[in-house]
Structure 1
Amino acid sequence: MPCRCHVTRRDLLQWSALIAAAPLVACSDPDESAARATAAATTAGVDPRTVSPVNLELVTLTETSAVLTWYSGIPGTDDGTKRMLPKPADGQVSYGTSPSRLTKTAHDKGGLTPYHYVELTGLEPGQTYYYRAASAGKTAAPTALPLVNGNAAGTAAPVGADGPFVFTTPQPPAGRHLFSIALCNDLHLGETVAGLVGGTTIKGISQQPGLPKYPEIMLEGLVSEATARGANYLLAAGDISSEARTADVSRARTLLDRFGTYRQDYFVARGNHDRAHVGADYAACSPGEWQGNDCFRDDFFGASTPTYFSHDLHGLHVVGLDTYDKAGNGGDAGGMSPAQRSWLAADLKAHRDQPTIVFGHHPLVVNGTPFGGGPSSMLDATQATELLATYASTPGVFLHHAGHTHRNHRTVSAAAPGVVLQEVCAAKEYPGGFSLLRVHSGGYALNFYKSRTDLARQWSERSRQELSGLWPQFSLGAAVSDRNSVTTRDLSGLTPA
């Protein structure tokens, strides 16, 4: 599901069928809702000290570690988004290599919290593990993904109805580790309501009064987490801003600068929300090539510089696309100008055998979604087909990173079987994070990490209630492999950072 402020009739029909039975999410004052919910719970005889742990997810799975998250709330209450009121509690994961011997434990760090984040470390590659997560002595129930027939808590079905849950660690990429790149997108600086769907009665989710703006919370958390996880570089694949206003573009640049130096440590591509706009808010910016005034281009590229580029990192060829290099209102399919298409063909030909990754906002293929995958979800179909054909004849290309759909999804197209097409979820909302590309001489790993600052975990859990609570069915990834994978590839020509 793209951008969600412009949707097709086909999308609306599909979403309506899914959401018809679900209660609509109301945008209400959380303090007032909490008071009402607590009063209602007391009247109903619910003990507000009772804890219910839910939304267990195996977020990250590497060869030696796993990250598990869940939420604890007060059953029988409602915070105004059809979610239980948060209840701080302990968080513990018991695990082991036998379902009957969960002899090892790991805990939340930082004390009691409703927003649990536990990392298991020191795991063995290629080993099957069994685990239970618990708060207040109660087993955490996993996020249910019936619409996509998914498994949020493991790589195999659980042993029993309440676990233990199961995962198998992968083997590491072959060879030595060379460097790591954080892949992110859909920062939406300036946005104030998440999960709006134009033309429907579906309400969005707003930040709680008194807290910082959620796009800034999530971007700050992303930069912090990417740095802590050892990312040497960062690629941001579009929708950096909500509507490309000067203040929002400038603020995004300021927060990204905390990661490092632009065009040296991090690189940015344009999304449909970053297009040139018409109106008084944009009058001070340079004229856009296709329409209005282009504040995004002014800040990140300059009025006379192309908004697409390539750059080499330790022998890795990185290509940044502008997939909204066209006129439009942002709600249609992405597209590249004839000039960009000509440049791209020449650039890939010149680097035919060099290890190459491409990043741009719109995906080339969108499949496996219960919420519709119309033309606005991807790059213009003709251009996407042409680009896949180019990839098939360019042996060096091995990864295409895209955003726009706000989900984690891994695709390998028969048209270019040597290239992984990786969609990464939005940084600005649930599940809220980035993918870490770990480059080795004999292959690479992609691992998704949630941003884990306190405020980021709080907003991420609140914003999972988008689409009347159905949002995780789409955005998390139906399988652990949609957000964590290892691929064998000869990258021995690259040099370490």
Structure 2
Amino acid sequence: MELTTVAPDEVVIHDGPTVHRHRGLSPATTYEFDGLTATTLPAPRGDLLGTFATVNDVHFGETVAGLIDGAGEGFSVPAGTTPYPTLMNTDAVGEMADLDPLAVLVKGDLTTDGSPQQVGEFEALYRAAFGDRLHFIRGNHESFHQVHVGSSYERVELPGLLAIMVDTSRDGHPNGDLTAQQLERLDDEAVDSDVPVVIFGHHHIWLPGEDARTDRFFGILPGASEALQALIARRRNVRGYFAGHTHRNRRRSVPISGDVPYVEVASVKDFPGAWAEYRIHEGTLVQIMRRVSSPRALAWTDRTRGMFGGLYPAYSFGELGDRCFEVDLESR
């Protein structure tokens, strides 16, 4: 039994292939379900203005999960069956579509090696479902092969919120960066915006005192990370940075920018099989991590719990507060 998701009005518990959804609950209330204790999130401030969704690390074209640089125990599906990236993304798209979201933001690693076929598979599935509501940037699996897809910088205007997608990738490299032009434009957008701003990229942020300072850092390089953190500290209407890349659920903060969260959401392609719902309220943004919960998706993601010697869930799932939380949209 695993407490997966909490919202102001909902608790979701997974028990292997069985999903227990408890809905219509009261905010900020402790319940006991199925032998587990769960407390719903507080009631958001203000009316619900709209909902959008994000997903990342979709990896069309991948055939073996659980390998690092070709080493480790691999997990795959039999030849002639539905490839697991297709399976997981198809069922995630179905769940996201049930929200009728205002937008769907895909935060990079659309493919395994950036081939036209893999890009086409991604576009065929996501564009067919969401049309012009779909917005995406590339990740390192595209940029490493110097494939340019998506936008380098895109504004997504939502009710009461401005979402900005930024391509953090570097051609020929697995890690990320931000250019002076991108940072300048973000700064200008924050100055001009009369609504709160949230930023979405593929790579996660380097944090002082926690990550080693090196140009081999796997996320956004330290100098660019510090520049973004300084921008967020300076522009008080910027209320969060949201990434993928690490295939884990994690939320961190840095003293210079106070309570602003720097968030990573796990991959959709294997355990836990994640995507994120965002509810925009007047004054509050609610992140609710969802596990793709069709029977076939749960069968695959429960298999891939065994990746990396069975240690993967401790890394990828994160704490409940990393998965589901509220962001104060009021300027600091």
Give the TM-score taking structure 1 as reference length.
0.62
Whole-Å Cα distance in 2 between the matches of residues 448 and 311 of structure 1?
Answer: 21
1:120 aligns to what?
22
2:240 aligns to what?
399
Deviation digits for residues 2-52 of structure 1 (CA, Å, limit 9, x no counterpart): xxxxxxxxxxxxxxxxxxxxxxxxxxxxxxxxxxxxxxxxxxxxxxxxxxx
1:266 aligns to what?
134
SS in 1 for 2:109: coil
Whole-Å Cα distance in 2 between the matches of residues 357 and 170 of structure 1?
Answer: 21
2:192 aligns to what?
350
The amino acid across from 2:61 in the alignment is G
Whether the aligned pair in 2 keeps the contact of 1:189 and 1:251 (CA below 8 Å) is: yes
1:100 aligns to what?
none
Q: Alpha-carbon deviation of 1:199?
A: 6.6
Q: Alpha-carbon deviation of 1:232?
A: 2.3
Whole-Å Cα distance in 1 between the matches of residues 209 and 82 of structure 2?
Answer: 35
1:10 aligns to what?
none
Pair 1:327 & 2:171 matched: yes
Pair 1:247 & 2:91 matched: no
Runs (4+) off by over 4 Å: 366-369, 372-375
Pair 1:217 & 2:162 matched: no
Structure 1: segments with no counterpart, 5+ residues: 1-55, 72-114, 133-163, 278-291, 302-306, 492-497
Pair 1:467 & 2:312 matched: no
Q: Alpha-carbon deviation of 1:473?
A: 0.6
Q: Alpha-carbon deviation of 1:453?
A: 2.1
1:35 aligns to what?
none
2:182 aligns to what?
340
Q: Alpha-carbon deviation of 1:354?
A: 3.0
Deviation digits for residues 136-194 of structure 1 (CA, Å, limit 9, x no counterpart): xxxxxxxxxxxxxxxxxxxxxxxxxxxx3211112221111011111211001111111
Whole-Å Cα distance in 2 between the matches of residues 342 and 481 of structure 1?
Answer: 32
Question: How many percent identity over aligned positions?
Answer: 28
SS in 2 for 1:259: helix
SS in 2 for 1:205: coil
Whole-Å Cα distance in 2 between the matches of residues 358 and 174 of structure 1?
Answer: 21
Whether the aligned pair in 2 keeps the contact of 1:189 and 1:242 (CA below 8 Å) is: yes
Q: Of the candidates 57, 60, 66, which is equivalent to residue 2 of structure 2?
A: 57
Q: Of the candidates 48, 70, 81, which is equivalent to residue 177 of structure 1?
A: 48
Give the TM-score taking structure 2 as reference length.
0.91
1:453 aligns to what?
294
Whether the aligned pair in 1 keeps the contact of 2:53 and 2:96 (CA below 8 Å) is: yes
Whether the aligned pair in 1 keeps the contact of 2:207 and 2:225 (CA below 8 Å) is: no
Whole-Å Cα distance in 2 between the matches of residues 276 and 486 of structure 1?
Answer: 34
Give the length in aligned residue pairs. Answer: 330
Deviation digits for residues 40-83 of structure 1 (CA, Å, limit 9, x no counterpart): xxxxxxxxxxxxxxxx2111111221111122xxxxxxxxxxxx
Whether the aligned pair in 2 keeps the contact of 1:441 and 1:490 (CA below 8 Å) is: no
Whether the aligned pair in 2 keeps the contact of 1:187 and 1:240 (CA below 8 Å) is: yes
Deviation digits for residues 425-453 of structure 1 (CA, Å, limit 9, x no counterpart): 00111101211110111312111111122
Q: Alpha-carbon deviation of 1:327?
A: 3.3
List aligned pairs for 1:91-490, cutoff 5 A: 115-132=17-34, 164-198=35-69, 200=71, 202-262=72-132, 265-275=133-143, 277=145, 294=147, 296-297=148-149, 300-301=150-151, 307-324=152-169, 326-330=170-174, 333-351=175-193, 353-365=194-206, 375-477=216-318, 479-490=319-330
CA RMSD of aligned residues (A): 2.4
